[in-house]
Structure 1
Amino acid sequence: MSIGRVTTSQMWTSSTANMQAAKARVSQLSDQSSSGLAVSKPSDDPIAAAGILRVLGQQNANTQYATNIGDGIGWLSTTDSAMTASENLIRQAKDLAIQAGNSGTATAASRDAIAKQLEGIRDDLLSQANTRFNGRSIFAGTSDASAAFATGSYDYAGATVPAGSPAGTAPVNALGPVTRRIGPSATDVVTVSADGMAAFGTGTSSVFAQIDTVIAALRDPGYDSDTVDATTGKTPKETVTAGIDRLGSALTTLSAQHGVVGANYARMTSAKTQNATTATALETQRSGLQDADTTKTLLDLKTQELAYQTALQVTATVLQPTLMSFLR
């Protein structure tokens, strides 16, 4: 069997192909060095590229969860502040009612002064109950009502009362609570709105109406008499005493709802920490798949550049094109 002669043309073609491959490798390493990425397009490493896309999707989702958590913490923090202020206001109202009830020598003028203080407390309490966060009423659930409680009637504004139901008995949370998703699991959902009806009552049974009842009793001209009100079946003094008990119950109820908000706030802050940990882990995964090893890339680039320059010199020396070479 004869061995075919390798012509100069064949050597030139082979050498040129090798140099082009070396040049392409130099270009690839140069791109990696400047961008810091080992994989910048799928063709660089299809398997790694698929992993990168998966991790980037997880990072985008985790970033959205972080946004949700931040919004939820803001909502719950605002609610916590409103509830704390409301609890203090109810305590003040109860203390004033006790003061009025225990004073056997109180005059109509002094009772009226206490009534005026109670009016201010009631208005402040209603303002707290209608607190807003990012344009939303924090005690109104998913309702788009501008305020959770209507001034005067203390009914839930914007709530739809079913036919045949007494006025003011439909909770504003009837459309559902406001929630925020904090993770990929179906259970990773936290309620950020408070139940306004449970916290403050509604209509004539609301804490605002209870304060109004005490105010009316203190201003009753027959306060010092034993005249029984035909509607309530109580004297004005008995009405104030009953009001003290009801304010105490209202405070207990509000505090219980405050505890629910506190638990949700604690869960949100814990989720914030976990979200940051997840973000770090995902970035480590992405970096491992996509980022170039800077030191190694620079060394490889220098080595490949040297090899390429050497190949150019050797090829130029060995393959000197002459007329006779092309004629062979």
Structure 2
Amino acid sequence: MISRVTHQTVQRSTLANLQVNLSRIADLQGRLSGGKVITKPSDDPAGTASALRLRGDLRVTQQYQRNADDGVGWLTTVDASLQASVTALRQVRNLVVQGASTGASGPVPRAAIAAELEGLRDALLEQANSTYLGRPVFAGTTSAGHAYEVTPGDPPTYEWLGHEAGSVQRRVGPATTVRADSDGRLAFGDGDDSVFALIDRIVAELRAEDGEVGHFLADIDVRMEKMLAELADVGARYKQLTAAQVATEEAMVGLKGQIAAIEDIDLAEALVELQSQEVAYQAALGATARVLQPSLLDFIR
């Protein structure tokens, strides 16, 4: 059966085809202006799903990098404090050697050494109470604003304010967590075992009439070994975090490249396609003008 084709049918069909061509041009122009192949999920459902998954991975990786950056900030502060503390403790040792020598047997030189040792004790205490972003780096997750609290007395007491299991951890990978703080007890000790209390005992001996300080050298060496061991451990963790920074940066570059491969438009290809569509549209306009031109009036003239 042959369907009857009227002039209106031809007109509607032709205009519909023109509208399709115009829609393709508008779509290409939208992609070019946005620089994206996918402007809505229906453009490429599979590509959209892949891009969403990759963007989720990118956000996680960016968080890992922020964690690594923060951890580096913590450990940089810890390292600087320990370096300064090691230098101060070496000065303490030198002064004790000087105080134990016969040349410093008088009360005046011994009092001068004692005063200098007290200054170094205060400097060590200041380093032990170092903070990063307002948080003490040698006391873990404590809510206190400092790692060591001093109770005045004769002698004064020194209390570490950290928590046994309250360390600062930074996750820098799916299965990698790095400690970003330091246990102050390992470097400075706690209570009577602290380096501060040790210096107080040395000062007391220097100010005593017949005080002997030479035997304190062994205690200083033990504390120095512990401080250096903690410094080495901090250095190893610092290297781990800087390696994580590099790894996360490389991972982000890779993920961004994969997202771009899915979403970003090929500019040259899109321009060629747009030009082809415009040529086709212009040709369709010309053909339509000729097809739709005849009417009943054209025949009765």
TM-score computed with the length of structure 1 as normaliser: 0.86
- Supply the AA of the counterpart residue of 2:192: T
Aligned-partner Cα distance in 2 for 1:69–1:101:
47
- Supply the AA of the counterpart residue of 1:266: K
Task: Look up the match of 2:164.
Answer: 174
Aligned-partner Cα distance in 2 for 1:174–1:33:
59
Task: Look up the match of 1:210.
Answer: 198
- Residues 255-300 of structure 1: CA deviation (Å, up to 9, x unaligned): 1111111111000000011011001100110001100001111111
- Supply the AA of the counterpart residue of 1:150: E
Q: How far does residue 43 in structure 1 lie from its aligned partner after superposition?
A: 1.7
> Does the CA contact (< 8 Å) of 2:159 and 2:191 recur in 1?
yes
- Supply the AA of the counterpart residue of 1:259: A
Correspondent of 1:315 among 282, 288, 297: 288
Q: Secondary structure at the match of 1:181?
A: strand
- Please tell me whether residue 146 in structure 1 is matched to residue 145 in structure 2: yes
Task: Look up the match of 2:106.
Answer: 107
User: Runs in 1 of length 4+ with deviation above 6 angstroms?
Assistant: none
Correspondent of 2:176 among 188, 195, 216: 188
Q: Secondary structure at the match of 1:124?
A: helix
> Does the CA contact (< 8 Å) of 1:143 and 1:175 recur in 2?
no
Correspondent of 1:220 among 197, 201, 208: 208
- Residues 196-217 of structure 1: CA deviation (Å, up to 9, x unaligned): 1111110111011001100000
> Does the CA contact (< 8 Å) of 2:104 and 2:110 recur in 1?
no
Task: Look up the match of 1:275.
Answer: 248
> Which deviates further from its counterpart, 97-106 or 60-69?
97-106
- Supply the AA of the counterpart residue of 1:51: S
Q: Secondary structure at the match of 2:157?
A: coil
Aligned-partner Cα distance in 2 for 1:91–1:43:
70
- 5+ residue gaps, structure 2, are 151-155
Correspondent of 2:229 among 248, 256, 272: 256
Identity of aligned residues (%): 38
Q: How far does residue 320 in structure 1 lie from its aligned partner after superposition?
A: 2.0
Q: 1:11/1:103 Cα in 2 relative to 1: closer, same or farther (>3 Å)?
A: farther
Q: Secondary structure at the match of 1:277?
A: helix
Q: Secondary structure at the match of 1:180?
A: strand
Aligned-partner Cα distance in 2 for 1:15–1:181:
63
Task: Look up the match of 1:162.
Answer: none
- Please tell me whether residue 116 in structure 1 is matched to residue 115 in structure 2: yes
Aligned-partner Cα distance in 1 for 2:57–2:163:
33
Q: How far does residue 242 in structure 1 lie from its aligned partner after superposition?
A: 2.5
Q: Secondary structure at the match of 2:178?
A: strand
Aligned residues: 293
Task: Look up the match of 2:160.
Answer: 156
> Does the CA contact (< 8 Å) of 2:21 and 2:277 recur in 1?
yes
Q: How far does residue 302 in structure 1 lie from its aligned partner after superposition?
A: 1.2
Q: How far does residue 58 in structure 1 lie from its aligned partner after superposition?
A: 1.1
> Does the CA contact (< 8 Å) of 1:137 and 1:146 recur in 2?
yes
Q: Secondary structure at the match of 2:55?
A: helix
